[in-house]
Structure 1
């Protein structure tokens, strides 16, 4: 542990999220950036400031995993790739955990709830063993799955005497989104194309971890988890950041992941992702554009919408704001994760994290 009040951290990953977080870290009094790990050979040896569009920070990016572990930081804050690259994520995180360094990550979102039965053993066992070996802790978060459908609904449920159902929704326009939505979600594909996430088991594993988490937090065990999937085909051409979606192709999708208890849906995750705000006009939308929404039917019933925005004149969109919030959730959790016993950490283990040092 650091002897100063600030936490010494290594950041792994200088992609979209990592760059934004590093820009916050270098001016944050609560954290000292002592190392940055990258997997792209073209970035190795470059000043981290140059990589992130900042002034030089006097720290070179490295792909030397052993050297970064040897820095003995208080935590690795890991912004690696998705679970599609599970082996590489496990390799990096395990090395730090075995050395006694706690890990806070946004990469392996099925680990938001490690006990989810869809998590394969070869994803879980190496981290469990590394935590035990190094007496370290591993926390994974995201926005969805993540705090938009664990922290938000669970906090609001604590205001109720009875909760008959809780739904957490992502209601986003993907026009400016540059991630892989063609193969994963079928957006921009023919309606007869079956995207990966339309397969129920894959959808539950990739996006559904917070459904059994919420049930567990409420003291029940679900009888089943089901899914639904709908597609909306555009009659007109739609321009996106990735190109053009032609008439007759999918321009909006809506899916749900449903936690069933005693014959009824008690926990539901819902996604409505559109290309253009006018797409799928009959499907749910927020009172603002691009929001995360929680609806609780109970005593009392509660509705909450959360919008992420930049108001600094940078022109960055709502998706970028949500990505920064995701990264900062992992970073700001470091002191709390350091204070917990070793092993897996979930949102249910963390105290309130108000963001010490953010007001300055």
Structure 2
């Protein structure tokens, strides 16, 4: 799609941290709107947001004329080119499936960041109740469904798979998130146990749940290089803070978990060949013995092979707003889904993964 082509008409569902920033990019008052995307509808699940202008929800001083609604049928009736869905996590799978299926059955493609297990729908841990309704909706409407994220997502599918394509041999590949959660507003207490006593068992410490929620890119990477894994294993470690640690969400009290480290490992012939690693801290000085990037808050890929390759990616705001790197990563996540719309529109109906997409260079981003 060229910058001079007709704009893609999109409905954005979800106006939390990610969705609100994407709305601001689409409306983009500094450049009189995005050259590739036209916002035609906004969907919300919070009744308090119904009727609010998209400009307000984006935190902009403008009136867009697009009012938020929770009426799925009304949004489908707009006949957009795509639904860009920034709904809640897979903890709310039924609601996500309800919304997305309505668009897919109407022949409207969906690009989403909500259901991270869908990054690789073929993962055996995906329950049929999550997969079959979308498969059927895509077939009924002749539409496509693409799910992405940063991790799980492009930090451990697009980045490492691109780098593996530069190698003659890969002995192991590790994709790591090394991020300070001090300014992160997402959910991590019950899910990861950060802020909880060390004896608390978070949901993701349960191996099957961890693999299902975060591990989809492990079998994806294996499939990409023609490998069938023998097993997928996990590890989980906790670090307890000796002092109180302030966060944007409150205080992590002394004696509570302030950092976690976990891995999801693809095993082949008795060795770990594909590893996803998370080190998430409250404060860069937490768990000082655990891995860290050469700069704070990075996503790192380490390949041992011929040649060996390592790469770090950092997300930052340099606009003077002081917004945290974690928030910059959230915007990158949202833009990956939005920028994929033209490519997804050109693909056959059904599930779409990172392996199906062509290069998505961000047409229209330089203006």
Q: Would you call these one fold, judging by a TM-score over 0.5?
A: yes
Give the equivalent residue in structure 1 for 2:14.
13
Aligned-pair Cα RMSD in Å: 1.2
Give the equivalent residue in structure 2 for 1:152.
159
* Structure 1 portions without partners, runs of 5+: none
For residues 72 and 286 of structure 1, the distance between their equivalents in structure 2, rounded to whole angstroms, comes to 45
* Structure 2 portions without partners, runs of 5+: 28-32
- Asked if the contact 2:184/2:327 (under 8 Å) is kept, the reply is no
Say whether 1:28 aligns with 2:19: no
What does 1:279-294 align with in structure 2 at a 5 Å threshold? Answer: 279-294=286-301
CA shift at 1:247, angstroms? Answer: 2.3
Greater shift, 342-351 or 61-70, is seen at 61-70
Give the equivalent residue in structure 2 for 1:277.
284
Give the equivalent residue in structure 2 for 1:84.
91
Give the equivalent residue in structure 2 for 1:46.
52
- Asked if the contact 2:184/2:248 (under 8 Å) is kept, the reply is yes
Please state whether the residue corresponding to 1:127 is helix, strand or coil. Answer: helix
CA shift at 1:245, angstroms? Answer: 2.0
Please state whether the residue corresponding to 2:264 is helix, strand or coil. Answer: strand
Greater shift, 263-272 or 50-59, is seen at 50-59
Say whether 1:331 aligns with 2:338: yes
CA shift at 1:186, angstroms? Answer: 1.1
1:109-156 CA-to-partner distances (Å, cap 9, x unmatched) read 000000000000000000000000000000000000000000000000
CA shift at 1:246, angstroms? Answer: 2.3
Give the equivalent residue in structure 1 for 2:123.
116
For residues 240 and 261 of structure 2, the distance between their equivalents in structure 1, rounded to whole angstroms, comes to 12
CA shift at 1:4, angstroms? Answer: 5.3
1:162-201 CA-to-partner distances (Å, cap 9, x unmatched) read 0000000000111112222221111111111111100000
1:271-305 CA-to-partner distances (Å, cap 9, x unmatched) read 00111111111100000000000000000000000
CA shift at 1:160, angstroms? Answer: 0.2
- Asked if the contact 2:297/2:325 (under 8 Å) is kept, the reply is yes
1:14-57 CA-to-partner distances (Å, cap 9, x unmatched) read 11111100111122100111111111111111211122211111
CA shift at 1:235, angstroms? Answer: 1.7
Give the equivalent residue in structure 1 for 2:30.
none
For residues 15 and 238 of structure 1, the distance between their equivalents in structure 2, rounded to whole angstroms, comes to 25
Q: Which of 323, 326, 329 is residue 322 of structure 1 equivalent to?
A: 329
Say whether 1:216 aligns with 2:233: no
For residues 86 and 188 of structure 1, the distance between their equivalents in structure 2, rounded to whole angstroms, comes to 25
Give the equivalent residue in structure 2 for 1:206.
213
Please state whether the residue corresponding to 1:286 is helix, strand or coil. Answer: coil
Q: Which of 151, 160, 173 is residue 180 of structure 2 equivalent to?
A: 173
Greater shift, 183-192 or 315-324, is seen at 183-192
TM-score (norm 1): 0.98
